[in-house]
Structure 1
Amino acid sequence: MARAPVYDDDLRDRLVSRAMDVVASSGAEGLSLRALAASEGTTTTAIYTLFGSKEFLLGSVFERIFAMIVDVQDSVALTGSARDDILALCLAYWQWGVDNPRLYALVFHGAASGGATGVEHLMRRMREDDPIGRAVRRGVENGELVGDPFVLTVSFWLIAHGASSLWASLPAGASLTWSIREPLEVLFDGCAPAR
């Protein structure tokens, strides 16, 4: 009697990586499970066994993309200055969205299901272990900022996320001529103590 094939973590990882490449170049609508399976030398049975559905495969892609966004922020070298750190963290987040518009759009505006949405992940990160939130709290504690730390954190995130969403939604080849640095600096200055 023939043994059923075993689908391991290596195959799972390869499928998620290849699916992410397809989504980055063609969007979620360009992902064909049959073509994906063939590109990795397996069958659609493997995909359904490992993920259950295309939606859950996209959910795994989504998780990988969100981990990349977190890694970008976690790699920012912090200076101890709330202003410099908040600007660097928001700019790193925004730049990732500019550099990866299809992946950004999938996470925050797209068809990724099988789990929490990107906005839910972002809100959870703001509540749990957010580097922007830590920099804001440090700024409030040392007198660089005045206000409720959570409200300030959400305000900085709104600029970073809103600008990233705007850039991700631009048609291919289009660009905007402004940076998010200026709105972030205006927000920081407006929340700094009076001199």
Structure 2
Amino acid sequence: MPRPRTHDEALRVRLLDRAGELLSNEGAAALSLRRLAADAGTSTTAVYSLFGGKPALMRELYVEAFRRLGTHLRAVTPTGDPAEDLIQLGLAYRTSALADPHLYSIMFGAALPGFEPDESAAEQSRAALSPLLEVIETGVHTGIFTDPHNTMAVGCWGIVHGLVSLELCGSLPPDLDTTTAYEHSLRANVRGWSNR
């Protein structure tokens, strides 16, 4: 009978989440494999068994962060209206960031000093954002959106990224209804790109 697997997917995810929390909250100096293992209630052997060392852990953390973002974006059901779909993708982007704030700086900040994604990891990160490009491309081809899709994609990403970053770091006014303001901003942005 095979031995039960002790270093399973649940432990891998727990280690990645804790690594993200340490990096996001305390900085790179706080992340040692010994501390990570202790915080996750396991051994350094488990960390090495699952990741092979700190560089591979960093890579997997980066890939996992984008995987979760991509999962949220791909969960948006197309409505047939690229303008509405674009708004829904923006809402999903925020949902993803609020669900895993410890991973947001992994994707877009300096939480992993010295880390450079290899080509495979970089490709996976780009793939996470492909729903945005697909919706914009559909809108451009059907005449709903006016500008070249690369310019529009950067502009739309800048809006959602900027608003979410301000929210996560606590820089928005405390009396602001963030959810409403965020959606209104998305709708105004999409109107600006629209031929309607």
- Same-fold status (TM-score > 0.5): yes
Query: Using a 3 Å threshold, how does the CA distance of structure 1 residues 66 and 90 change in structure 2: closer, same or farther?
Result: same
Do the aligned partners of 2:63 and 2:125 also contact (CA within 8 Å) in 1? no
TM-fit CA distance, 1:14: 4.8
* Matching residue of 1:156: 156
Stretches of structure 1 that go unaligned for 5 or more consecutive residues are 1-8
TM value normalised by structure 2? 0.73
CA–CA separation in structure 1 for the residues paired with 2:127 and 2:155: 15
Query: Using a 3 Å threshold, how does the CA distance of structure 1 residues 60 and 175 change in structure 2: closer, same or farther?
Result: farther
Identity among equivalent positions (%) equals 28
Stretches of structure 2 that go unaligned for 5 or more consecutive residues are none
* Matching residue of 2:167: 167
TM value normalised by structure 1? 0.73
**Residue pairs, 1:32-181, within 5 angstroms:** 32-38=32-38, 39=40, 41-42=42-43, 44-45=44-45, 47-48=47-48, 51-112=51-112, 114-116=115-117, 124-125=126-127, 130-170=130-170, 176-178=176-178, 179-181=181-183
TM-fit CA distance, 1:13: 4.0
* Matching residue of 1:188: 190
TM-fit CA distance, 1:91: 1.0
1:20-49 CA-to-partner distances (Å, cap 9, x unmatched) read 33245544545442243354543x355346
TM-fit CA distance, 1:66: 1.2
**Number of equivalent positions:** 180
Query: Using a 3 Å threshold, how does the CA distance of structure 1 residues 140 and 72 change in structure 2: closer, same or farther?
Result: same
CA–CA separation in structure 1 for the residues paired with 2:126 and 2:88: 21
- The answer to whether residue 8 in structure 2 is matched with residue 16 in structure 1 is no
